[in-house]
A and B are shown apart, each in its own frame.
Chain A
Amino acid sequence: GAGVSQSPSNKVTEKGKDVELRCDPISGHTALYWYRQSLGQGLEFLIYFQGNSAPDKSGLPSDRFSAERTGGSVSTLTIQRTQQEDSAVYLCASSWGRPGSPLHFGNGTRLTVT
């Protein structure tokens, strides 16, 4: 079956511009997660959705970062006024939303801010 799909796969933007990253989770998965991975590093949690609500936004690094999820499916992560330190791979994952459910990841969006 189809896995988690992310778009675009690569994005180059100029400092100060806004970007939107999209995630299509596995059909039926109620939970959706955004993580960030800097070069050679582990995964940093950003935000978690259960359905359309986001009970945990604690990982968002600043108020320039926001995310929404509509219809309990597709999610977009928006970064406003991008900075060079925002350059990273942004990974989306989905799961059945129960403790102990493995997360299934997409291939990420590589964001480069010049």
Chain B
Amino acid sequence: GESVGLHLPTLSVQEGDNSIINCAYSNSASDYFIWYKQESGKGPQFIIDIRSNMDKRQGQRVTVLLNKTVKHLSLQIAATQPGDSAVYFCAENSGSNYKLTFGKGTLLTVNP
């Protein structure tokens, strides 16, 4: 069945370091992946997405890597800032399924 999971439930980094948040998925039919950031008391905020015909996509300070061979997705945040502290969710969608399936999330804490 479909599932999206995260390797690490919590991640603590020093300000200025790079952060890497990992995600595994099990549905080989998944062809679209999204990372969301959720701050306390707010809804998930779209960060970056990637389609399965790509293995890397870059945004502002963020990079998403997709390894379809091992069904693994990662979010890299460069020069992590205190404002990056939040829960990060990966989500997946298959071409025939309009819904997003979410993992449980990783709490990122940035220490000044």
How many Å lie between the Cα of A84 and that of B42 in the bound state? 22
Instruction: Determine whether the beta carbon of A42 is less than 8 Å from that of B102.
Output: yes
Instruction: Determine whether the beta carbon of A102 is less than 8 Å from that of B49.
Output: yes
Q: Which size bracket describes the interface of A in this complex? A: 20 to 34
Task: Give the total of B residues in contact with A, Cβ under 8 Å.
Answer: 26
9 contacts between A and B (CB under 8 A): A42-B102, A45-B101, A97-B98, A99-B95, A99-B98, A103-B34, A105-B44, A107-B41, A107-B42
Closest to A105 in B: B43
Q: List B31-53 residues whose CB lies under 8 Å from chain A.
A: 31-32, 34, 36, 41-46, 49, 51
Instruction: Determine whether the beta carbon of B99 is less than 8 Å from that of A45.
Output: yes
> Which chain B positions have C-beta within 8 A of A50?
98
Task: Convert B77-112 into 0s and 1s, putting 1 for each residue whose CB lies closer than 8 angstroms to a CB of A.
Answer: 000000000000101010111111111110000000
How many Å lie between the Cα of A50 and that of B100 in the bound state? 15
Instruction: Determine whether the beta carbon of A48 is less than 8 Å from that of B104.
Output: no
Instruction: Determine whether the beta carbon of B42 is less than 8 Å from that of A31.
Output: no
Instruction: Determine whether the beta carbon of B102 is less than 8 Å from that of A43.
Output: yes
Contact of A100 among B93, B103, B104 (CB under 8 A): B93
> Which chain B positions have C-beta within 8 A of A41?
104
